[in-house]
Amino acid sequence: MTHPAPALDIRSDICWSDETSVTVLGRDLCEDLIGSVDLGTFAYLLLTERMPSEAEAALFNAALVSLVEHGVTPNVLATRMTYLGAPESLQSAVAAGLLGLGTRFVGTIEGSARYLADGLVALGPEATDDAVRAEAARIVAGFREQRAHVPGVGHPVHTPVDPRAEALLGLADRLGFPGTAGRLVRAVAAAASEASGRHLPVNVTGAIGACVVLLGVDWRIARGMGVIARTIGLVGHLREELAQPIATTVWNVSDESASRHLRG
Amino acid sequence: MTHPAPALDIRSDICWSDETSVTVLGRDLCEDLIGSVDLGTFAYLLLTERMPSEAEAALFNAALVSLVEHGVTPNVLATRMTYLGAPESLQSAVAAGLLGLGTRFVGTIEGSARYLADGLVALGPEATDDAVRAEAARIVAGFREQRAHVPGVGHPVHTPVDPRAEALLGLADRLGFPGTAGRLVRAVAAAASEASGRHLPVNVTGAIGACVVLLGVDWRIARGMGVIARTIGLVGHLREELAQPIATTVWNVSDESASRHLRG
Amino acid sequence: MTHPAPALDIRSDICWSDETSVTVLGRDLCEDLIGSVDLGTFAYLLLTERMPSEAEAALFNAALVSLVEHGVTPNVLATRMTYLGAPESLQSAVAAGLLGLGTRFVGTIEGSARYLADGLVALGPEATDDAVRAEAARIVAGFREQRAHVPGVGHPVHTPVDPRAEALLGLADRLGFPGTAGRLVRAVAAAASEASGRHLPVNVTGAIGACVVLLGVDWRIARGMGVIARTIGLVGHLREELAQPIATTVWNVSDESASRHLRG
Amino acid sequence: MTHPAPALDIRSDICWSDETSVTVLGRDLCEDLIGSVDLGTFAYLLLTERMPSEAEAALFNAALVSLVEHGVTPNVLATRMTYLGAPESLQSAVAAGLLGLGTRFVGTIEGSARYLADGLVALGPEATDDAVRAEAARIVAGFREQRAHVPGVGHPVHTPVDPRAEALLGLADRLGFPGTAGRLVRAVAAAASEASGRHLPVNVTGAIGACVVLLGVDWRIARGMGVIARTIGLVGHLREELAQPIATTVWNVSDESASRHLRG
C-alpha cells in the first residue's frame, strides 16, 4: 500500500503568467515594463518590490556600473578557463566566475552595508560629526576585536582614494540623498586608518554599502548587486575570449611553470 | 637544476586601472560612465565594444527586461534549494540557477540568433516576402532534417502569441529598426507551424534572436543576454526567499512523495 | 612602447607528465596506481600526500560511503532541475547540486573536525574521562556564547542515534584507532544535549569529523570529503532522472502552487 | 478565493531513511555498506543499480583513478582562482573546476562510449577483425562527415601512445573482459589516423569509453565518471593551494601581462 501524494503548499508573489500576459510584482510585463524601463530600474523593482524614484534609479544604476569591470581578475580567469573546456555552455563559464564573489572581494559589500545600516539606525537622521565619529570608532573596534578586516576600506592599487568610491559618494550628494551614510563610511575609513596606521580609503564596496543603505536594499542581498554587475563583465570577457583568446596560453604557461622543477 | 620561469604573453583590451583611474574600453569609468550611463547601456558597450544609439539602448534594455522573470522556474528552484544549504554564499545560489540556462530554455536565443544572422546575410537588406518565405522554409527544413526543434518558436503556456515576443518585435518596429529580421522570424514560425501541424508562435527567445541581429551582438554570446537577465530575476527570488521561504517545504514534500512507496 | 611579457613563477608538486608517463605525488600513475589502488585509497593519497595503511583506507572509504546518499535532498533537487534545462552538460547539473554543500549541511564536517582537532591537541593521547568531559563542556560553551549551533550533533529524523555515526565510530574502534576522538565527540553531544535540554546525538558529520582527525586530514579540506561523496550520489540521481524523471513534475506543481493565490 | 494546494506525485527508488536506518537501492547503508564496500564499488552500485563483480569493481576503480589528475589544467586553475575569492566555500571552488568538464576534455568519454556501445551492438560478440575494421571506418567516416573530431583518440602530449589508455585496456584484458570493445577503439584510432594523416593513439577517454561499455554503464552518464574522478583531483589541489598557493601569482601576472600594452 502506498500513501497518497502529499500536497505542496507554497507561495511566491513575484511573477505569474497566463495565456496572454506575464505579471511581475503587480505590473504587466509586456504593457508596462518592456520598452518603458531600463534594466537597472527593473532590477531595482525586483530587489526592493517598488519602482525607484529618478534619483534612486540613477544611483542604483551607477552603483552597478561601478562594479562591472576591473580587468583580468581571478573570476575572469575562472570564466575563461571554463569556457575553454565547455564552449557549448556559456552559462557555465559565467557561473564559474561568479563563484569566486565570496568574502574576499565583492562579498565585502554585504559587510559594509550591514554596519552602515546598523550604524544609521543607531545615529538617527541628524547626527552630529562627533556622533558619527564615535559610531565609526565603535564599528572599527568591533572588527578589530574579532581580528577581522573592516569591509569597504582599503585598496591594493587605488590611492590616495578609490576613484569609483568618490564618484559614487559624490553622485549620491548631487542627487540629494541624505549625507549621513557617506559621512559614516568616510569616518569608518578614517578610524580604520588611524587604528591600523595605514592609509585606508573608502573603496568601491564601501561606497556601494552606503548606496545600498540609501536605496533601501536589504543588506542580506546586497552582494547580489555585485553578482549582477560582474555577470555583465564576465560575458564581456567571453566576447573577447572568442576573438582574442588567452585561456590556452595561461594554462600552458602555468602548467609548464608549476611542474618545471619536477622535470629535472 | 630547474628551468627558468616562463614568460606569460597575453592581451586583454577591456579594462585596466592605475592609482587614480579605471579605464573601460577606452572610456574613463569614474568620469564618463558612473552616473552617466544606465546598466543596460553599459552592458551593450561590453558586449559590442561600442556605445549604443538611443534606439539601440532602448531595444537592448527591453530585450533584457523581457527575460528577467517567468515565475517559479527550474532555475529558481535550483537557486532557492542551494541558498537553503549555503545561505552564506548568495553568489553560489545564483550560479546554481544559471547553470540550467542550457539548450532547453534560454539557450535557444543562440539558436534563433544564429539562423537569423545567417538568413539575413543570405537575404540582403531588401528581401521580398517570397524570398523571406523561401529562406524560412529552408531554415525549418534544416532543423527537421536533423530531427531538432526549431529554436525560438512555440510556447507551452502563451497562446495564440507570446506577448513578450510581440512587445519586442513591435518595439523594434516603432524604434525604426529594419524589418527583415522580424519578418524572417515570423516566417520561420509560420513555416514551422505548417511543417509540424501545430500552432507555433514566435516566442520570446525567437524575438530576442531578432533583437540580437538588429543590435549587432555576436550570436555566440547571445545566450549571455539571458544569463544577465536571469541573474537579476534570481537575486529577486532570494530576496523573497528570505522573507517568505519555500525551499524547505519543496524539499520535505518532494522527499516524502518520492519515497512513500518505499515506506510500506 | 610595450613592456616585455612578465615571467610566471609558480610551483605545484601534485602531478606532471611527459610523452610516456604521468607521475602523481611521486608515483607512476600507469605502472603503480591504475589497477592497484581503489578510488578511496587514491583520494586519501591526494588529500594527505601519503598512502593510507589498511586501516586508514578502510575508515576513509567508510566515511565517504556514509555521505553519498540521503534521498531527495535540496542538492538532489538542484541537480535534477539543472539537468532539465541543460541535459547536454551533466557536469553543470552535478556542480549545481554541490553548491548547496555549505554551512547548513555537509559543511558542518569542517566545524566538527576543527573543534575535535583542537580538542585532541589540548587533551593529549591519554585523557581521562573527566578531562574529555571538561573539554567538551568548553567546546559547547564556546558555540553557545556565539549563539551558534554545535556542528556534528543532532538530526531531524534519526533518533535516538544517527545510525551512520554509530557505524563509523564502531568501525574506527574495531580497526584499532585511538578512542579519544570518538570519546570527545560523544561527550560534546552529551554536553550539547544537557545545555540545550534536547536530545542531540552525534550525527554523521560529527562522526566524520572524528574520522578526519583520526585519518590526519586537514580540517580545512574536510568539507571536500563531503563534496567527493555527494558527487557520486548526484550522478546516481541523474541516472535515475533519465529513466524516471521527476524534475518537470516538481517544477510544474511548484509553479502552480506558488502562484495560485494570484490567479483568483 | 484561492485554489487548494496541488498534490505532488513523484517517485525515487535510490534512498530512503527512517529513525533508525538508511536504505540505499535496497541495501542497509549502516549494516551492509559502511565498512564493507570501498568508494568505487559503492559508486558502481549507484551508477548501475547493481553490485559489481570483483573484476568489474577493479576495472571501474581503475577507470576512475586514471582520470583524477593531470597537473595544472584549466579546471584546476578555475578551482584555485575561485578559492582565492571565496575560501569559505570549498564546494564552490570545486564546482567551478567541474564546470569546464565539457565537450572539449572529459566530455569526450561520452562520445567514445556512445559510438563503442552502438558499434558493439552492430558487431555482436564474435566479430572478425575485418568486421571490426569496417565498423571503425564507418564510425570515423560519420564524424568526418560532420567535420567533428573523433572523440577518444589523439593526445597533445602523450606519444606514441597514451600510457593511461594502455594501462586500462591491458587491465581489462587481464581481468578477462571480452576483447571486442578494446579492439574496436583501437581500430577507430587506426582509422582516424589513416583518414587524418596524423598519428592518433587511443587516449584515456577512449579507453574509458571502452570500460564504460564493458561495465554496463549507460553512456549518457559516462561523463559522470570523469566528474567524480576530477572532484577528487580538485580537492587535492585545494589542499596544496592552502600550503603552497599559486592563485594570487597567476592573477597578478596575468593582469599585468594582459594590460601592459595599455599602460604606455
- Residues in chain C with CB shorter than 8 Å from the CB of A79 are none
Nearest chain B residue to C11, by CA = B5
Query: What is the reported pLDDT for B45?
Result: 98
Residue C260 DSSP code: G
A221: nearest Cα among A206, A235, A204, A209: A209
In sequence order, the β-bridge partners of residue B48 are: none
- Residues in chain A with CB shorter than 8 Å from the CB of D82 are 74-75, 78, 96, 99-100
Residue B68 CA to residue D44 CA, distance in Å, equals 41
When CB atoms are compared, the residue of B65, B89, B101 closest to A102 is B89
Q: How far is CA B205 from CA A39, B107, B202, D125, in A?
A: 17, 8, 8, 47
**pLDDT tens digits for C61-102?**
999 999 999 999 999 999 999 999 999 999 999 999 999 999
Residue C85 CA to residue C127 CA, distance in Å, equals 55
Mean pLDDT along residues B133-140 = 97
The position carrying cell 518590490 is A49
CA of A117 to nearest chain B CA: how many angstroms apart? 17
Nearest chain B residue to C258, by CA = B72
Please tell me which chains touch B, using 3 or more CB pairs under 8 Å as the contact test.
A, C, D
Query: What is the reported pLDDT for B207?
Result: 97
- Residues in chain B with CB shorter than 8 Å from the CB of C247 are 74
Please say if the pLDDT value at position A262 is more than 90: no
When CB atoms are compared, the residue of A38, A102, A224 closest to B94 is A224
In sequence order, the β-bridge partners of residue D153 are: D202
Interface list for D 48-107 with A (CB within 8 A): 71-75, 77-78, 81-89, 92-93, 95-96, 99-107
Residue B130 CA to residue B147 CA, distance in Å, equals 26
Residue D71 CA to residue D166 CA, distance in Å, equals 20
Please say if the pLDDT value at position C126 is more than 90: no
| Contact across the interface for B254 and C72, Cβ inside 8 Å | yes
Query: What is the reported pLDDT for D262?
Result: 86
Residue C30 DSSP code: I
Q: What percent of chain A has pLDDT over 90?
A: 93
- Residues in chain D with CB shorter than 8 Å from the CB of B16 are 259, 262-263
Pair type for strands D27-28 and D22-24? antiparallel
Q: Where are the domains of chain D?
A: 108-221
**pLDDT tens digits for B10-69?**
999 999 999 999 999 999 999 999 999 999 999 999 999 999 999 999 999 999 999 999
- Chain A contact probe: residue of B65, B177, B238 with most A CBs at under 10 A: B65
Q: What residue type is D211 in one-letter code?
A: C
- Residues in chain D with CB shorter than 8 Å from the CB of C21 are 163
Please say if the pLDDT value at position D68 is more than 80: yes
The alpha-carbon radius of gyration of chain B (Å, integer) is 22
Mean pLDDT along residues B198-214 = 96
| Contact across the interface for A235 and B46, Cβ inside 8 Å | yes
In sequence order, the β-bridge partners of residue C222 are: none
3-class DSSP assignment, residue B87: coil
In sequence order, the β-bridge partners of residue A16 are: A23
When CB atoms are compared, the residue of A89, A262, A263 closest to C86 is A89
Q: Cβ neighbours of residue D62 under 8 Å, at least 6 residues apart?
A: C34, C35, D167, D168, D171, D211
When CB atoms are compared, the residue of B3, B64, B221 closest to A238 is B221
Residue C243 CA to residue B241 CA, distance in Å, equals 32
In sequence order, the β-bridge partners of residue A17 are: A22
In sequence order, the β-bridge partners of residue C27 are: C24
Q: Is A128 left (phi over 0), alpha (psi -120 to 50) or beta?
A: beta
Please say if the pLDDT value at position C1 is more than 60: no
The position carrying cell 512523495 is B257
CA of D137 to nearest chain C CA: how many angstroms apart? 27
When CB atoms are compared, the residue of D78, D93, D258 closest to A72 is D258
Query: What is the reported pLDDT for D108?
Result: 87
When CB atoms are compared, the residue of B75, B78, B87 closest to C104 is B87
Task: Please state the length of chain D.
Answer: 264
pLDDT band at B107 (very low <50, low <70, confident <90, very high): confident
B210 within 8 A of B114, measured Cβ to Cβ: no
| Contact across the interface for C6 and B8, Cβ inside 8 Å | yes
Residue A139 CA to residue A192 CA, distance in Å, equals 9
Residue D39 CA to residue C40 CA, distance in Å, equals 5
Query: What is the reported pLDDT for A260?
Result: 93
Query: Mean pLDDT in chain D?
Result: 96
Query: What is the reported pLDDT for D264?
Result: 64
Query: What is the reported pLDDT for C243?
Result: 96
The CB density around residue D11, as the number of other CB atoms within 10 Å, is: 17
Query: What is the reported pLDDT for A264?
Result: 64
| Phi, psi of C17, rounded to the nearest 5 degrees | -145, 155
3-class DSSP assignment, residue D29: helix
Sign of the alpha-carbon dihedral angle for A75, A78, A83, A89: negative
| Contact across the interface for C167 and D35, Cβ inside 8 Å | yes
Q: Does B29 touch chain D (CB under 8 A)?
A: no
Q: What percent of chain B has pLDDT over 70?
A: 99
3-class DSSP assignment, residue D7: strand
Please say if the pLDDT value at position C264 is more than 70: no
| Contact across the interface for C11 and A261, Cβ inside 8 Å | yes
B95: nearest Cα among D54, D174, A231, C1: A231
The CB density around residue B42, as the number of other CB atoms within 10 Å, is: 33
Residue D4 DSSP code: P
**pLDDT tens digits for D145-178?**
999 999 999 998 898 999 999 999 999 999 999 9
The position carrying cell 601519503 is C50
CA of D163 to nearest chain C CA: how many angstroms apart? 6
Interface list for B 96-155 with A (CB within 8 A): 96, 98-102, 106-107, 110
Please tell me which chains touch A, using 3 or more CB pairs under 8 Å as the contact test.
B, C, D
Instruction: For chain C, report the end-to-end CA distance as a whole number of angstroms.
Output: 69
Could you list the beta-strand ranges (E) of chain C. Answer: 15-17, 22-24, 27-28
Please say if the pLDDT value at position C223 is more than 70: yes
Q: Give me the interface pTM, i.e. the ipTM.
A: 0.97
The DSSP H or E segment spanning D231 is: helix D223-243
Query: What is the reported pLDDT for B190?
Result: 97
Q: Is the pTM of this model over 0.95?
A: yes
DSSP assignment of chain A equals --PPPPB------SEEE-SS-EEETTEEIIIIITTTS-HHHHHHHHHHSSPPPHHHHHHHHHHHHHHS--SS-HHHHHHHHHHHH-TT-HHHHHHHHHTT-STTTTTHHHHHHHHHHHHHHHH-TT--HHHHHHHHHHHHHHHHHTT-PPTTB--SS--SS-HHHHHHHHHHHHTT--SHHHHHHHHHHHHHHHHHTS---B-HHHHHHHHHHHHT--GGGTHHHHHHHHHHHHHHHHHHHHHS--HHHHHHHHHHHHHGGG--
Q: How far is CA B20 from CA A189, C146, C165, D259, in A?
A: 18, 41, 57, 16
- Chain D contact probe: residue of A10, A70, A249, A254 with most D CBs at under 10 A: A254
Nearest chain C residue to A146, by CA = C146
Please say if the pLDDT value at position C137 is more than 70: yes
Residue D8 CA to residue D10 CA, distance in Å, equals 6
Query: What is the reported pLDDT for B1?
Result: 57
Mean pLDDT along residues A143-149 = 93
**pLDDT tens digits for D177-208?**
999 999 999 999 999 999 999 999 999 999 99
Mean pLDDT along residues B135-139 = 97
Mean pLDDT along residues A211-240 = 98
Residue C5 DSSP code: P
Please say if the pLDDT value at position A32 is more than 90: yes
Mean pLDDT along residues B123-138 = 95
Nearest chain C residue to D173, by CA = C35
Q: Cβ neighbours of residue D172 under 8 Å, at least 6 residues apart?
A: D59, D181, D182, D210, D211, D214
- Chain A contact probe: residue of B21, B47, B50, B90 with most A CBs at under 10 A: B90
Query: What is the reported pLDDT for A107?
Result: 84
| Contact across the interface for D250 and A251, Cβ inside 8 Å | no
In sequence order, the β-bridge partners of residue B7 are: C7
Query: What is the reported pLDDT for B138?
Result: 97
D122: nearest Cα among D213, D49, D217, D207: D213
| Phi, psi of A23, rounded to the nearest 5 degrees | -115, 125
D180 within 8 A of D120, measured Cβ to Cβ: yes
Q: Does B254 touch chain D (CB under 8 A)?
A: yes
Instruction: Report CA C5 to chain centroid distance, whole Å.
Output: 42
C-alpha cell at B50: 561600442
Residue C257 CA to residue B223 CA, distance in Å, equals 29
Nearest chain D residue to A250, by CA = D254
| Phi, psi of D237, rounded to the nearest 5 degrees | -70, -30
CA of D35 to nearest chain C CA: how many angstroms apart? 5
Query: Which homologous superfamily does the CATH classification assign to the domain defined by B108-221?
Result: Cytochrome P450-Terp, domain 2 (1.10.230.10)
- Chain A contact probe: residue of C14, C256, C257, C263 with most A CBs at under 10 A: C257
| Contact across the interface for B88 and D88, Cβ inside 8 Å | yes
Please say if the pLDDT value at position D1 is more than 70: no
Q: How far is CA C5 from CA A245, B128, D263, in A?
A: 16, 54, 13
Task: Please state the length of chain C.
Answer: 264
CA of C88 to nearest chain B CA: how many angstroms apart? 7
- Residues in chain C with CB shorter than 8 Å from the CB of B101 are 85-86
| Helix D204-215, helix D108-123: angle, nearest 10 | 50
Residue A227 CA to residue A231 CA, distance in Å, equals 6
Dihedral (Cα; D172, D175, D181, D185), 10-degree rounding:
20
Q: Does D9 touch chain B (CB under 8 A)?
A: yes
D148, burial (CB in 10 Å: exposed 0-12, middle 13-18, buried 19+): exposed
Please say if the pLDDT value at position A84 is more than 80: yes
pLDDT band at C157 (very low <50, low <70, confident <90, very high): confident
Q: Cβ neighbours of residue C213 under 8 Å, at least 6 residues apart?
A: C113, C116, C117, C120, C181, C219
Nearest chain B residue to D25, by CA = B262
Nearest chain D residue to C230, by CA = D228
Please tell me which chains touch C, using 3 or more CB pairs under 8 Å as the contact test.
A, B, D
Nearest chain C residue to A8, by CA = C257
- Chain C contact probe: residue of A9, A10, A146 with most C CBs at under 10 A: A10
- Chain C contact probe: residue of B69, B81, B257 with most C CBs at under 10 A: B81
